[in-house]
Amino acid sequence: MGTSADELLRELTGSGVRPGDEVVVPSYGTAEAAEAVLLAGARPVFVDIDANTFCIDPAAVADALTPRTAAVIAVHTFGHPADMARLGELGRRHGLVVIEHGARPEPAAEVLRRQANAAYLNGKLRGVVTPWVAPGVQHTYQQYVVRVPGNGRPDRDAFARTLRSRGVVCHVPVQTPAHRTARFRRDMWLAETERAADECLALPVDAAMSRRELHRVVSACNALGGVLQAAA
């Protein structure tokens, strides 16, 4: 079950996380998980994400474990669930608490509508990398996040500005990974986290969108995507 930010702090302290402990968290996404770890008196240990799901990478978690590690926070990113099977196995093997964060209860009809809108975009968009979904899981598309091909952040930002000029509301889902903020700064390189921060863009997928609005998104993106793809 997912938790809110306040519940996350309570779950950390209730599960026995104490000052001096380490808690493994993803750097990509909001800083809520890392902030809760600090408030619990522990130390957040940042690890990389899976390139496809944008969720915490179980292999990176395994590499980061030390005798001080007490817990792992598995953040479900943009509506795609983290790999709880592999993370749960790590938790059992090493005696760690695995806490889920980022899932939220929503009306089923709203989720189904967003999934239908995402399926339409997946089938029509060209020149951007559409969201990947792991086999056997449900993506709720709290955000519809694509990768923009080209030269990283400059091309992604130019792509976003042009979409906005054409009436398409879009935003960069993660401007700065947590480990690069003043609050949590670490001298480390997380390759997939850095790449996602440079390439990703969230497109509209709201449940209330009409087919005409979705088509406008597709038309604007495909025109720009083709140009970028040819230049890459």
pLDDT the model gives residue 42? 96
Q: Where are the alpha helices (DSSP H) in 15-107?
A: 32-39, 58-64, 84-94
Residue-level pLDDT, tens digit, the chain, 232 residues: 445 667 899 999 999 999 999 999 999 998 999 999 999 999 999 999 999 999 999 999 999 999 999 999 999 999 999 999 999 999 999 999 999 998 888 999 999 999 999 999 999 999 999 999 999 999 999 999 999 988 899 999 999 999 999 999 999 999 999 999 999 999 999 999 999 999 999 999 999 999 999 999 999 999 986 445 444 3
pLDDT the model gives residue 1? 43
pLDDT the model gives residue 30? 85
Sign of CA dihedral 91, 96, 102, 105: positive
CA dihedral 33, 37, 39, 42 (to 10 degrees): -170
Residue 7 half-sphere exposure toward CB, CA atoms < 13 A: 10
Quote the tokens at residue 209. 């969108």
The residue behind tokens 């087919």 is: 211
Tell me how crowded residue 120 is: count the other CB atoms within 10 A of its CB: 17
Tell me how crowded residue 109 is: count the other CB atoms within 10 A of its CB: 9
Sign of CA dihedral 187, 191, 192, 198: positive
Say how far apart CA 130 and CA 133 lie, in whole Å: 10
Beta bridge partners of 171: 202
pLDDT the model gives residue 232? 39
pLDDT the model gives residue 102? 87
CA distances 18 to 6, 38, 66, 196, 222, Å, are 17, 10, 15, 32, 51
Tell me how crowded residue 107 is: count the other CB atoms within 10 A of its CB: 9
Q: With beta carbons less than 8 A apart as the criterion, state whether 33 and 56 touch.
A: no
Quote the tokens at residue 37. 């770890």
Q: With beta carbons less than 8 A apart as the criterion, state whether 76 and 84 touch.
A: no
